Amino acid sequence: MSRLILYIILLVLIYWVVKRALFPPKGKAKGPEEIGEEMIQDPVCQCYVSKRHSYAVSIGGKKLFFCSEECYRKYMSSNVLPKT
């Protein structure tokens, strides 16, 4: 009877090896460069965000992209000169 057990173990091992060879585990995560995602740099904190997920504002006809509203506010407070 021990032969049958050995056979089963062998079959399971072969099954695993074949499965691994045919369907390798998806371990690699996608990097920052996703298809169709344009990366832009935040002028305030210098971090990179995808255009789709950025905080976009047009100031004086110029389109600006920030990573968050907080950065946009920082930009406005540091770049908009007070009227004299």
> Does 45 sit near Zn ion (CB under 5 A)?
yes
CA–CA gap between residue 65 and residue 55 (Å, rounded): 6
- Cα angle 12, 23, 26 (rounded to 5 degrees) comes to 120
> Does 64 sit near Zn ion (CB under 5 A)?
no
Segment interacting with Zn ion (CB under 5 A) among 5-13, 20-28, 35-43, 75-83: 35-43
In angstroms, give the least distance from the CB of 64 to Zn ion.
11
From the list 57, 33, 32, the residue with the least C-alpha distance to 44 is: 57
Judged by the rule CB under 5 A, the positions of this chain that interact with Zn ion are 42, 44-45, 67, 71
